[in-house]
Amino acid sequence: MNRAGNIEKAFELAREDYQAIGVDVDSALQRMRDVEISVHCWQGDDVKGFEGDDGALGNGLAVTGNFPGRARTIDELQSDLELAYSLIPGNHRLNLHALYGDFKSRVDRDEIEVEHFQGWIDWARDQKIRLDFNPSYFSHPNAADGFTLAHADSGIRQFWIDHGIACRKIAAAMGAAQNNPCINNFWVPDGYKDVPADRKAPRERLAASLDSIFATEYPAEHTLDAVECKLFGIGSESYVVGSHEFYMGYAMSRNKVLCLDAGHFHPTETISDKISAVMMYVPELLLHVSRGVRWDSDHVVTYSDELQSIMQEVVRGDYLGRVHIGLDFFDASINRVAAWAIGTRNALKAVLAALLEPTEQLRKLELEGDLTGRLALIEEQKTLPLGAVWNHYCQSVGVPAGSDWLENVREYESKVLSQRSDSSALV
């Protein structure tokens, strides 16, 4: 039998295995088709953007590696993304940073407009991809001392407030064009390397700056504002103004979307445990699915225990309609298109695994106090044939199953990526 036939045969057997524990595979697959992942543009070019300067990365963000083929133009980035999307089952979104506009000449961050993103809006419409957005509060002379919206200098603060206001206009235009809310995520690096004398005033300034930015109401059908916390960064080891408590309080009191980045907490702290808690108090959640490794918060997402727990919590809580799943990693040591394919396919595979979980049965065991049965069932279902269902899903939507996608990436690497030169790649 050929590979396609084998995949179907394996799927039929897998369906029976899942049926035996009370899981309806067809309804899980139906739900999978509606799951959208917001793929981050910045994996494709090492977070450099297209502002026309040297694109030097700063404010605690660091990309290591010098794999050839970084996208240097919007055309190259779009071409790389098109290949990545063709390797990922389902219809997904693109998460753009403000750095990635089509700037014909130097346009400072407080002056960016919808026209600079019209090309992306048109491309996204043609590709049937929806857009999300992010103001860029890093890699800029006005962020050189590590402070932006919480800066003590009112002129610098105003510059960044104006950037936020400009970005909300752009996000609202994207949302209106795509008839679906564009999630506009605010992350600022502000913080101190060493112990501050005043932890209070910067937080008061950050809240006031955000309030100024959010003063204008936009229709929720066009754009939703999200706010992202961080525990520490390179250069902000002792104090980050926008901590978890700060943004949790801010999002709750201002009815904003809270963003939880999996790499932004203490290494032994997980965001999976936070989901059901914060969802009681915030309207919606944005996830930055990432992977922390020692000092770095942005490794390519692997099929880890924490990834599985995150998706289990989203599905168990019935939050798929209120949780926006975005990715956030950047790795320049491997093929960047492969990085997107690996990370996004893993995120989706974890959603599928969660949809195939016998949740009701597990809850029943728990409520009856049968904790032995709960552990036994959780452990046994870890080795059920998820791969067979995943391969069938990929095949049924016309996307390579298993690791077949790697061939497409290798061919693109030899024909396209290897032809690009980039003397500015970081080692």
Ligand X SMILES: C[C@H](O)[C@H](O)[C@@H](O)C(=O)CO
Catalytic residue numbers read: 187, 228, 230, 261, 264, 288, 296, 298, 328
Query: Which residues participate in the annotated binding site for Mn(2+)?
Result: 264, 296, 298
Residue 298 near Mn ion by CB under 5 A: no
284 is in the binding site of which of Mn ion, ligand X, none (Cβ under 5 to 8 A by kind)?
Answer: none
Query: Which residues participate in the annotated binding site?
Result: 264, 296, 298
160 and 137 in contact (C-beta within 8 Å)?
yes
Q: Which lies closer to ligand X via its Cβ, residue 129 or residue 167?
A: 167
Stretch that binds Mn ion, among 149-157, 174-182, 246-254, 322-330 (CB under 5 A): 322-330
Q: Which residue is nearest to ligand X (CB)?
A: 187
Q: Which lies closer to ligand X via its Cβ, residue 89 or residue 263?
A: 263
What the block records as the tokens of 340 is 């997107």
What the block records as the tokens of 128 is 């049937």
Helix, strand, or coil here: 380?
A: helix
Q: Which lies closer to Mn ion via its Cβ, residue 25 or residue 258?
A: 258
297 is in the binding site of which of Mn ion, ligand X, none (Cβ under 5 to 8 A by kind)?
Answer: ligand X
Q: Which lies closer to Mn ion via its Cβ, residue 289 or residue 356?
A: 289
Residue 288 near Mn ion by CB under 5 A: yes
Handedness of CA 353, 313, 336, 62 (dihedral sign): negative
How many of the other CB atoms lie within 10 Å of CB of 315? 23
Per-residue contact string for residues 326-345; x = within reach of Mn ion by CB under 5 A = --x-----------------
Helix, strand, or coil here: 269?
A: coil
97 and 331 in contact (C-beta within 8 Å)?
no
Residue 350 C-beta: closest distance to ligand X, Å:
20
344 is in the binding site of which of Mn ion, ligand X, none (Cβ under 5 to 8 A by kind)?
Answer: none
Stretch that binds Mn ion, among 14-22, 111-119, 143-151, 258-266 (CB under 5 A): 258-266
Element of type H or E holding 240: strand 239-240
Residue 256 C-beta: closest distance to Mn ion, Å:
16
Residue 187 C-beta: closest distance to ligand X, Å:
4
202 and 147 in contact (C-beta within 8 Å)?
yes
The residues near 12 (Cβ < 8 Å, ≥ 6 apart) are: none
Residue 364 C-beta: closest distance to ligand X, Å:
38
Q: Which lies closer to ligand X via its Cβ, residue 261 or residue 306?
A: 261
366, 261, 350, 367: which is closest to 313 by C-alpha?
350
Single-letter code of the amino acid located at 403: S
Roughly how many angstroms between the first and final C-alpha of the chain, as a whole number? Answer: 47
One residue of 261, 284, 306, 357 binding Mn ion per CB under 5 A: 261
Q: Which lies closer to ligand X via its Cβ, residue 176 or residue 325?
A: 325
299 is in the binding site of which of ligand X, Mn ion, none (Cβ under 5 to 8 A by kind)?
Answer: none
136, 64, 95, 45: which is closest to 295 by C-alpha?
64
DSSP-assigned letters across all residues of 174-219: HHHHHTSPEEEEE----EESS--S-SHHHHHHHHHHHHHHTTS---
225, 219, 122, 127: which is closest to 177 by C-alpha?
122
192 is in the binding site of which of ligand X, Mn ion, none (Cβ under 5 to 8 A by kind)?
Answer: none
Token look-up 């090309």 returns 119
Q: Which residues bind ligand X (CB under 6 A)?
A: 42, 47, 134, 187, 228, 230, 261, 288, 297, 328
How many of the other CB atoms lie within 10 Å of CB of 129? 20
Burial of 69 (0-12, 13-18, 19+ CB in 10 A): buried
Stretch that binds Mn ion, among 70-78, 111-119, 215-223, 285-293 (CB under 5 A): 285-293
151 is in the binding site of which of Mn ion, ligand X, none (Cβ under 5 to 8 A by kind)?
Answer: none
The residues near 6 (Cβ < 8 Å, ≥ 6 apart) are: none
Residue 171 C-beta: closest distance to ligand X, Å:
14
Stretch that binds Mn ion, among 101-109, 129-137, 207-215, 283-291 (CB under 5 A): 283-291
The site for Mn ion (CB under 5 A) is made up of 261, 288, 328
